[in-house]
Amino acid sequence: MKRILMVAVAAASLSLAGAARAADKPDCSAQKTAYDDAVKAGKVKPDLSSCADKKGKEKTECQKPLKDKAKEDAAAAKGKVKDAKMALDCCKTTKKKGCGEAPAPAAAPEPK
């Protein structure tokens, strides 16, 4: 009977410890969704279907502004991906460099 009681107490304490650890983890689902959306936005290719009926130089001139716009959008998306990744990483690990409070300025060495 004593052995059964000890096993029951140990099992209860382990289940409570597991629940406490799960409660310590922050919910980063919003940051994960924002990161996934930013990655998808960065992988969008230009829609060149409007230039399909043209040929040669005319087709090239039609595609150029569309491709340039896609490059600009991709560059902007890279910045958003970087910011979203940093927010996600900071959510998971708040002690990571660049997260939370601004770091204290380094002390200047004393002149000799």
Residue reference for tokens 């560059």: 75
State the pTM of this model: 0.51
Mean pLDDT in consecutive groups of 10 residues from the start of the chain, 112 residues: 70 58 69 86 84 89 90 86 87 77 47 53
| Predicted pLDDT of residue 105 | 42
Q: Is 46 exposed, middle or buried (0-12, 13-18, 19+ CB in 10 A)?
A: middle
What pLDDT sits at residue 19? 47
The beta-strand segments (E) located in 14-85 are none
DSSP 43: T
